[in-house]
């Protein structure tokens, strides 16, 4: 934290900015989460099944394999983004 | 099959793994309530990820899921996505903030955030109920594995399982459980992957089951899944890669399971054990990675097993079937009724007979089966008019897989040890939630706030011991409704905890009145719907009467939406939460505490203001109270 001591207003502003960015990350990542699982693997699965890739119908693959891989990646991306955000706002532990 | 050599292998593998678990428990026994409840918050994120994966993957995931998928085809994805997708919600909406909150339990958060002891008690009752419904199945699973392997009564198996869990849950608390779970994860994933890899090579030549699922069959021009669809069409089943359930039902079940996963107390509590907020985030990633290894293999195992089963039994003479068929026939998992008297197994769509197989025995000797012309065991069950002659229990798909594929005895022994590891690790996690709810949430926070730490630790161990006994009894005398109430666990978690916690973090305006009303409406609706259709409904087809075609398994999603709607509406017309509670919400949203504020540890926020709004910020220092043993309240 830089000198001089920040005022309460600065602290509030930092926290608000931090929280807004967090909400934006969560919003984008959960949209992807929804798109691969409930949208792609459930609602649109029959449409995607018309496409065949590497021995799999696409919808079937997304439902039984692809969505799970995506979930794992999403969490690691979130952890990476938030660590960077913590640093940027001086809120690192 | 050489039974004695197999039993020797199994005994050796199980004895070695159990010795490891108990050794770890003695090495890592808990000496304070902080260690007993949350392992002193000193678990590394990687170890917590491994432990969470073992905690999460139960006997059902290990033994039943692949079989379930192999009978459900594409619809099996509801479990694959439902039981993994929740970790994304957990990592982004719950875990980091609850870790920052820094207490021991979910009822702690509900009670403090909604400044209400009543809400705390409701939350702890839900936690105990959810955990008991879940744990009964685990203890039963332990008993069944023991019973099959050593040919001892299931009850004796349950008692052995109880003794093992007793040692490391009562002695070690969360600390002991965490490190045994790490070992149990290694055992169960090895036990699951070895047969899967062998079978993938045998069937497709590809050693990676996830890729084998999409490969062409060895010695044939056709891909595995296309072959399976073809076999299904020949025998009158629906295609394997097509869905059978209504889309809206698949949507609701998947969503309810995902949200329910994120709201289950024994999963959430694991994220209280890591040192920092950032550890909670990354730890959820590790956990899901380790879970995904099994969850992406399971659909491959399901498809392999289905192909193997059809190719082995369909239209074959019973007398020429491989020995595994007869050995599993002895244990009621597979049965054949020769309807047309041709001596061959006709395996087609539909049930062969009503219910589970009941074998006919000699009147003078109840242990001697009556056998038919081909040597098959005769059944009491009334055959159905359909052409199908075969009954297959879904559990056989994992349990018999190594034998079906002709794998060596040590692999079969490994599967038994893996099933036990999966069941024991989940049981221990659930028992800890139960004991914590009683000793911490009920005794310490509601009944006797003056309890000293030593006494509280004593009661925690006592509650754990009591919970082990009750869970064992539920395993020995399973109430008939256990299988039915598992839908409750997820429905309840989805319609109560999840909205209450998410709103508690993401809405500063959410107050006691809104949260309590939301939880009550969500639970009441979900429970009433499940009870009505599972226990009371007597019409011809329950499925026709479902609301919008949503099954009881998926109704928790609707309950969750109702909870959100009611909570948001009621909170608009009632007073906002006190300033201290709003400050608490501000605090948990950022990873570091304000200087001088420390961790929010208010019991009644009115009595203790943790974070004055004008507190100066921390300059990167870790919260002071973080690793200290829990401070006495007030």
CA atoms within 13 A on the CB side of B392: 28
pTM: 0.87
Most confident by average pLDDT, A53-62, B509-518, B588-597, B604-613: B509-518
pLDDT one-digit tens code per residue, B408-439: 888 888 888 888 888 888 888 888 888 888 88
pLDDT one-digit tens code per residue, B544-564: 777 777 888 889 999 999 999
The whole-chain average pLDDT of chain A stands at 87
The alpha carbon of residue B229 is apart from the nearest alpha carbon of chain A, in Å, by: 12
Q: Give the pLDDT band of residue B308 (cuts 50, 70, 90).
A: confident
Q: What is the pLDDT of residue B611?
A: 36
Q: What is the pLDDT of residue B334?
A: 86
Q: What is the pLDDT of residue A31?
A: 96
Across B321-350, average pLDDT: 83
The alpha carbon of residue B449 is apart from the nearest alpha carbon of chain A, in Å, by: 32
Cβ of B616 within 8 Å of Cβ of A11? The answer is: yes
Partner residues linked to A56 by β-bridges: A53
pLDDT one-digit tens code per residue, B248-296: 889 999 999 999 999 888 999 999 999 999 999 999 999 999 999 999 9
Q: Which residues of chain B neighbour A93 with C-beta distances below 8 Å? A: 276-278, 591-592, 620, 622-623
Is residue A1 predicted with pLDDT exceeding 70? no
Task: List, in sequence order, the alpha helices (H) in B385-447.
Answer: 396-399, 401-404, 409-436
Across B80-86, average pLDDT: 93
pLDDT one-digit tens code per residue, B354-396: 888 888 888 887 778 888 877 888 888 888 888 888 888 877 7
Q: Chain B 187-226, CB below 8 Å of chain A: which residues? A: 210, 213-216, 223-225
Q: Which residues of chain A neighbour B203 with C-beta distances below 8 Å? A: none
Q: What is the pLDDT of residue A80?
A: 95
Q: What is the pLDDT of residue B298?
A: 92
Substitution target from B102, B206, B209, B214 for chain A, most A beta carbons within 10 A: B214
Substitution target from A22, A45, A72, A80 for chain B, most B beta carbons within 10 A: A72
In this complex, is the C-beta atom of A5 within 8 Å of any C-beta atom belonging to chain B?
yes
Across B228-256, average pLDDT: 87
Q: Which residues of chain B neighbour A43 with C-beta distances below 8 Å? A: 247, 251
Is residue A76 predicted with pLDDT exceeding 80? yes
Is residue B604 predicted with pLDDT exceeding 50? no
Question: Which one of B216, B250, B281 has the shortest CB-CB distance to A42?
Answer: B250
Closest alpha carbon within chain A to B243 = A46
Question: What percent of chain B shows pLDDT beyond 70?
Answer: 91
In this complex, is the C-beta atom of A51 within 8 Å of any C-beta atom belonging to chain B?
no
In this complex, is the C-beta atom of B498 within 8 Å of any C-beta atom belonging to chain A?
no
Closest alpha carbon within chain B to A54 = B214
Is residue B140 predicted with pLDDT exceeding 80? no
The whole-chain average pLDDT of chain B stands at 83
pLDDT one-digit tens code per residue, B449-468: 888 888 888 888 899 899 88
Q: What is the pLDDT of residue B629?
A: 39
How many Cβ atoms from other residues are within 10 Å of residue B374's Cβ?
17
How many Cβ atoms from other residues are within 10 Å of residue B81's Cβ?
28
Enumerate long-range contacts of B438-444, CB under 8 Å, 24 or more apart.
Answer: B438/B128, B438/B463, B438/B466, B438/B467, B439/B463, B440/B33, B440/B37, B440/B104, B440/B105, B440/B108, B441/B105, B441/B107, B441/B108, B441/B111, B441/B120, B441/B121, B441/B123, B441/B124, B441/B127, B442/B121, B442/B124, B444/B633
In this complex, is the C-beta atom of B301 within 8 Å of any C-beta atom belonging to chain A?
no
Q: What is the pLDDT of residue B505?
A: 94
Q: What is the pLDDT of residue B284?
A: 95
Partner residues linked to B379 by β-bridges: B359
Reference B298, options B413, B218, B224, B200; nearest CA is: B200
Q: What is the pLDDT of residue A53?
A: 82
Residues 6+ apart with CB under 8 A from B448: none
Is residue B542 predicted with pLDDT exceeding 80? no
Is residue A16 predicted with pLDDT exceeding 50? yes
Q: What is the pLDDT of residue B72?
A: 86
pLDDT one-digit tens code per residue, B191-231: 899 999 988 998 888 899 998 888 888 888 888 888 888 88
Closest alpha carbon within chain A to B591 = A91
Q: What is the pLDDT of residue B3?
A: 57
**Secondary structure E strands in B220-339:** 334-336
Question: Which one of A19, A30, A38 has the shortest CB-CB distance to B255?
Answer: A38
- Dmax over CA atoms of chain B, in Å, equals 87
The SS3 call for residue B597 is coil
Q: What is the pLDDT of residue B557?
A: 93
The alpha carbon of residue A24 is apart from the nearest alpha carbon of chain B, in Å, by: 11
> Which tops the pLDDT comparison, B518 or B595?
B518
Q: Give the pLDDT band of residue B626 (cuts 50, 70, 90).
A: very low
Under 8 Å CB pairs connecting chains A and B tally to 157
In this complex, is the C-beta atom of A31 within 8 Å of any C-beta atom belonging to chain B?
no
Is residue B2 predicted with pLDDT exceeding 60? no
Q: Which residues of chain B neighbour A29 with C-beta distances below 8 Å? A: 88, 92
Question: What percent of chain B shows pLDDT beyond 90?
Answer: 25
Q: What is the pLDDT of residue B481?
A: 56
Q: Give the pLDDT band of residue B487 (cuts 50, 70, 90).
A: low
The SS3 call for residue B365 is strand
Question: Which one of A25, A71, A91 has the shortest CB-CB distance to B84?
Answer: A71
Substitution target from A20, A79, A89 for chain B, most B beta carbons within 10 A: A79
Is residue B580 predicted with pLDDT exceeding 50? yes
In this complex, is the C-beta atom of A44 within 8 Å of any C-beta atom belonging to chain B?
no
**Secondary structure E strands in B40-97:** none
In this complex, is the C-beta atom of A27 within 8 Å of any C-beta atom belonging to chain B?
no
Q: What is the pLDDT of residue B202?
A: 87
A54 vs B325: CA distance, rounded Å: 34
In this complex, is the C-beta atom of B228 within 8 Å of any C-beta atom belonging to chain A?
no
Q: What is the pLDDT of residue B486?
A: 65
Across B589-610, average pLDDT: 50
Q: What is the pLDDT of residue B606?
A: 36
Q: What is the pLDDT of residue B281?
A: 93
């Amino acid at each position: 934290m830089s000198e001089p001591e920040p005022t309460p207003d600065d602290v509030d502003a930092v926290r608000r900015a931090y929280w807004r960015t967090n909400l934006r990350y969560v919003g984008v990542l959960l949209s992807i989460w929804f798109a691969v699982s409930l949208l792609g693997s459930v609602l649109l699965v029959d449409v995607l099944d018309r496409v065949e890739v590497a021995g799999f119908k696409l919808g079937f693959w997304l439902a039984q394999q692809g969505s799970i891989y995506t979930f794992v990646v999403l969490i690691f991306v979130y952890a990476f983004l938030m660590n960077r955000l913590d640093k940027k706002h001086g809120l690192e532990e | 099959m050489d039974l004695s050599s197999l039993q020797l292998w199994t005994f050796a593998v199980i004895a070695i793994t159990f010795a490891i678990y108990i050794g770890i428990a003695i090495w890592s026994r808990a000496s304070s309530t902080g260690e007993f409840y949350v392992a002193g918050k000193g678990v590394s994120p990687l170890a917590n990820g491994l432990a969470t994966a073992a905690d999460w993957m139960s006997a059902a995931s290990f033994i039943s899921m692949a079989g379930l998928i192999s009978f459900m085809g594409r619809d099996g994805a509801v479990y694959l996505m439902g039981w993994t997708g929740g970790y994304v919600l957990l990592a982004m909406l719950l875990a980091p903030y609850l870790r920052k909150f820094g207490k021991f339990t979910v009822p702690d958060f509900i009670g403090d955030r909604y400044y209400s002891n009543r809400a705390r008690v409701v939350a702890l009752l839900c936690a105990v109920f959810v955990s008991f419904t879940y744990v009964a199945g685990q203890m039963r699973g332990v008993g069944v594995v023991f019973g099959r392997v050593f040919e001892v009564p299931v009850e004796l198996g349950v008692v052995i399982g109880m003794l093992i869990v007793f040692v490391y849950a009562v002695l070690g608390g969360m600390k002991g459980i965490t490190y045994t779970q790490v070992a149990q994860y290694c055992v169960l994933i090895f036990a699951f992957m070895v047969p899967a890899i062998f079978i993938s090579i045998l069937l497709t030549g590809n050693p990676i089951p996830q890729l084998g699922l999409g490969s062409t069959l060895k010695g044939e021009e056709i891909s595995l899944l296309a072959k399976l669809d073809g076999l299904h069409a020949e025998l009158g089943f629906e295609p394997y890669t097509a869905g059978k359930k209504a889309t809206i039902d698949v949507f609701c079940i998947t969503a309810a399971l995902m949200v329910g996963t994120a709201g289950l107390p024994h999963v959430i509590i694991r994220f209280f054990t890591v040192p920092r907020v950032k550890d909670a985030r990354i730890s959820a990633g590790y956990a899901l990675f380790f879970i995904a290894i099994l969850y992406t293999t399971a659909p491959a195992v399901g498809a392999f097993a289905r192909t193997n089963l059809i190719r082995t039994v369909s239209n074959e003479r019973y007398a020429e079937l491989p020995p595994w068929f007869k050995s599993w026939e002895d244990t009621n998992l597979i049965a054949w009724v020769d309807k047309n008297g041709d001596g061959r197994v006709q395996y087609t769509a539909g049930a062969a007979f009503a219910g589970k197989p009941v074998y006919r025995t000699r009147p003078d000797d109840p242990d001697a089966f009556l056998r038919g012309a081909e040597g098959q065991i005769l059944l009491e069950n009334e055959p159905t008019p359909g052409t199908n002659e075969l009954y297959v229990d879904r559990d056989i798909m994992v349990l018999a897989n190594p034998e079906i594929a002709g794998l060596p005895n040590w692999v079969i022994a490994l599967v038994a040890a893996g099933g036990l590891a999966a069941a024991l690790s989940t049981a221990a996690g659930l028992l800890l939630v139960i004991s914590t709810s009683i000793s911490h949430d009920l005794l310490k926070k509601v009944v006797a706030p003056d309890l000293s730490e030593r006494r509280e630790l004593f009661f925690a161990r006592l509650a754990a011991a009591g919970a082990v006994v009750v869970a064992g009894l539920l395993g020995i005398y399973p109430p008939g409704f256990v299988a039915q109430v598992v839908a409750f666990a997820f429905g309840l978690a989805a319609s109560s905890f999840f909205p209450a916690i998410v709103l508690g973090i993401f809405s500063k305006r959410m107050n006691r009145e809104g949260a309590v009303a939301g939880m009550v409406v969500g639970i009441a609706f979900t429970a009433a719907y499940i009870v009505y259709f599972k226990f009371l409904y007597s019409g011809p087809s329950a499925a026709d009467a479902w609301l919008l075609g949503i099954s009881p398994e998926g109704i928790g999603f609707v309950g969750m939406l109702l909870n959100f709607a009611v909570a948001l509406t009621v909170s608009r017309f009632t007073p906002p939460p006190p300033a201290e509670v709003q400050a608490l919400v501000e605090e948990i949203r950022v990873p570091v505490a304000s200087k001088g504020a420390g961790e929010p540890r208010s019991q009644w926020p009115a009595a203790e203001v943790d974070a004055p709004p004008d507190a100066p910020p921390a300059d990167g220092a870790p919260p002071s109270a973080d690793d200290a043993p829990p401070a006495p309240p007030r």
